[in-house]
Structure 1
Amino acid sequence: MLTLNSTEFQIPLAHITLAAKRYGKIDKPIILALHGWLDNVDSFIPLADEFEQQGILNTFQLICIDWPGHGLSDHRPGRYPLHWVDYIYDLHAVIQAISVENQPIILIGHSLGGIVASAYNACMGENVAKLILIEALAPLFESAQHAKNRLRKGLLQQQGFNRQLARPTPTYSSIDVAVQARHQLTGLALPWCELITQRNMQLVDDKCAWRSDPRLKLDSLNRFTFEQVDGLMSCSDTRTLFIAAQDGYKQLTQTEHHANTWFSDIKMVTLAGDHHLHMGNAKQVAETIGAFILK
């Protein structure tokens, strides 16, 4: 990995300030990268290095943002539960803030970032030049019969969370303990766990503590039904690339066969790797993206 030079900067929005990294020259057309749940901008370091290797950054700049509550971005104020649809509002505000003369930008989204990107493109496609979805295709959905139990579970979980806030912040003797914990929980390779974890942690009294918003681990209070997702997603004419991993999330098979209904112009590719294949198989992912956006 080249550890390509990047520029850290902030994006002050009306409702929150987000941290971001830029790779490449500021005067180039924008590729905006959106990371997954509990990740941060550094999950795109391997892909950014490959973009440089393959000359993609001669044509584009890559901007990666930390979602609220992740990495170095602000947390949402208050103690109310988080809702995934709020990320769509964040994305719209970011695009308005960084786009030059309202020019459409290329969106790359991994996992949660892909879910948000697909939903945003569905309703604001005029702002998206091309869409690249990695291990995500559309918002998650479930049967309406789960609505009551999901809401009840979420409220009880929030109640317990409020009690938890009264306790001291959990700390670790070293970052290695947190890296191992994430590795054991997710199965993500240790080098990638370390890369992501470093930005999501901070020092508290000479010990390591999570910087991430603890509310991120709470379940959603509601989820779309398939009818809602289908109504939202049908039908986009944005040129779209969907990259799945051979050993990725099997839940994607629930939505893959709807792809040609939801997107009029979509290329679907499966590459070697797990859910974070844009890290572990960055070279092939970058080659696939390069072939798609440099046409």
Structure 2
Amino acid sequence: MSDELMLRNVDIQLSHLRLSALEFGEESHANVTLLFLHGWLDNAASFSSVMDSLIETAQQKNWHLLAIDLAGHGLSQHRRADNFYPFHDYIADLHELLAKIAPNKCILIGHSLGALIASCYSAAFPDKVDGLIQIEGLGPLTEPAENSVERLRKGILSRQRIKAKPMRRYVSQHDACLHRMQANQLSAKQLRPLIERGTYLEDGHWYWRYDPKLKCESIYRMTEEQGLTYLQAIECPSLLILGQTGFPQLVTAESRKAALKHHQEVTVPGGHHCHIESFAQVSDIIRHFVAKSVI
């Protein structure tokens, strides 16, 4: 593949932190920006195979492809030492990012945590989003209101525990890869882009780049009533991509699917990271969705 048809690493400076990203094309004159948001503890390279598969189409149709490392992930900056990672702050980061790049039209494509962020942003700012694709995610995480006090207690205790815990280190990058292979049920080849972007070598040991504070438990979670309200507020066309062996609760979430005004659903081979396992099929699905959604 020529250099002209390759993803490039870029940095985007927000008011409070620097985000790193993988990019193809230019947002200033593109017909549409496809903005990819990865899952928890992953990074932008989670979408590298999907994006590579879309590059020729992007060149032909003048699409801008952009996959960011969320704050605290990949090559992006960590939040300040006295800050943690409440869910809504990701939505604020996304709003500032979109204001900065000012795309002509925008399709949000999120996996897992990225899908949660994309869905809530689409609800809060319907004028900014022309299409929404959620991969193995469907609206915000919720739980019964009676869990609130216990969640607050556990969340604050987890912050103290994480601060006192030493960073995990590995003898080799392959050992870090083995750890993720076990956790995500993916092969070393499938994980290679994520591992290369997400680890670093220091003093003879390998470490994850992500901020350890990302592992703190949430101190707040919406109720299901609130979650449905977000989904009901989404105005743009939306598509849900599920893995055949992904999260089973997404298959049976009928009330959530019914809350969406314009809902399509498709299932592809693979598990929770089906966009990595079936990247060619997912790329085709995205290609067709964008072509129909952007007039």
User: Structure 2-normalised TM-score?
Assistant: 0.91
| CA–CA distance in structure 1, aligned partners of residues 262 and 161 of structure 2 | 46
| CA–CA distance in structure 1, aligned partners of residues 82 and 191 of structure 2 | 28
**Which residue is equivalent to 1:219?**
217
**Which residue is equivalent to 1:289?**
286
SS of equivalent to 1:184: helix
| CA–CA distance in structure 2, aligned partners of residues 286 and 2 of structure 1 | 20
**Which residue is equivalent to 2:242?**
244
2:201 pairs with one of 200, 203, 208: 203
SS of equivalent to 2:125: helix
1:173 pairs with one of 158, 171, 174: 171
| CA–CA distance in structure 2, aligned partners of residues 171 and 271 of structure 1 | 35
User: What is the CA-CA distance between 1:254 and the residue it aligns to?
Assistant: 5.1
SS of equivalent to 2:87: coil
Instruction: For 1:122-271, list aligned pairs within 5 A.
Output: 122-164=123-165, 167=166, 169-253=167-251, 255-261=253-259, 263-271=260-268
**Which residue is equivalent to 1:75?**
78
CA contact (8 A) 1:2 1:49 kept: no
User: What is the CA-CA distance between 1:2 and the residue it aligns to?
Assistant: 10
Q: Where has structure 1 moved over 4 Å in runs of 4 or more? A: 1-4
Cα-to-partner distance string for 1:86-119 (whole Å, 9 max, x where unaligned) = 111011111111114xx33111111110100000
| CA–CA distance in structure 2, aligned partners of residues 228 and 114 of structure 1 | 17
CA contact (8 A) 2:269 2:277 kept: no
User: What is the CA-CA distance between 1:17 and the residue it aligns to?
Assistant: 0.9
CA contact (8 A) 2:19 2:77 kept: yes
| CA–CA distance in structure 2, aligned partners of residues 126 and 274 of structure 1 | 33
| CA–CA distance in structure 2, aligned partners of residues 248 and 226 of structure 1 | 21
| CA–CA distance in structure 2, aligned partners of residues 74 and 86 of structure 1 | 14
Q: What amino acid maps onto 1:282 in structure 2? A: F
User: Structure 1-normalised TM-score?
Assistant: 0.91
Unpaired stretches in structure 2, ≥5 consecutive residues: none
| CA–CA distance in structure 1, aligned partners of residues 51 and 254 of structure 2 | 27
**Which residue is equivalent to 2:16?**
15
Q: What amino acid maps onto 1:79 in structure 2? A: D
CA contact (8 A) 2:144 2:224 kept: yes
User: What is the CA-CA distance between 1:144 and the residue it aligns to?
Assistant: 0.9
Cα-to-partner distance string for 1:240-284 (whole Å, 9 max, x where unaligned) = 1111111111121353442232x2112111112111111110111
**Which residue is equivalent to 2:271?**
274
The aligned length equals: 288
Whether 1:91 and 2:89 are equivalent positions in the alignment is no
| CA–CA distance in structure 1, aligned partners of residues 250 and 229 of structure 2 | 18
Q: What amino acid maps onto 1:99 in structure 2? A: A
| CA–CA distance in structure 2, aligned partners of residues 79 and 152 of structure 1 | 18
RMSD of aligned alpha carbons: 1.9
User: What is the CA-CA distance between 1:67 and the residue it aligns to?
Assistant: 0.2
**Which residue is equivalent to 2:37?**
34
Unpaired stretches in structure 1, ≥5 consecutive residues: none
SS of equivalent to 2:162: helix
Between stretches 181-190 and 218-227, larger displacement belongs to: 181-190
User: What is the CA-CA distance between 1:10 and the residue it aligns to?
Assistant: 0.9
**Which residue is equivalent to 1:117?**
118
Q: 1:108 to 1:220 in 2, by over 3 A?
A: same
CA contact (8 A) 1:24 1:58 kept: no
Cα-to-partner distance string for 1:176-228 (whole Å, 9 max, x where unaligned) = 00000111123233222332122111121132112110011111111111111
SS of equivalent to 2:240: strand
Q: 1:256 to 1:42 in 2, by over 3 A?
A: farther
CA contact (8 A) 1:141 1:223 kept: yes
| CA–CA distance in structure 2, aligned partners of residues 240 and 33 of structure 1 | 15
| CA–CA distance in structure 2, aligned partners of residues 132 and 286 of structure 1 | 12
| CA–CA distance in structure 2, aligned partners of residues 254 and 88 of structure 1 | 27
* Percent identity (aligned): 36
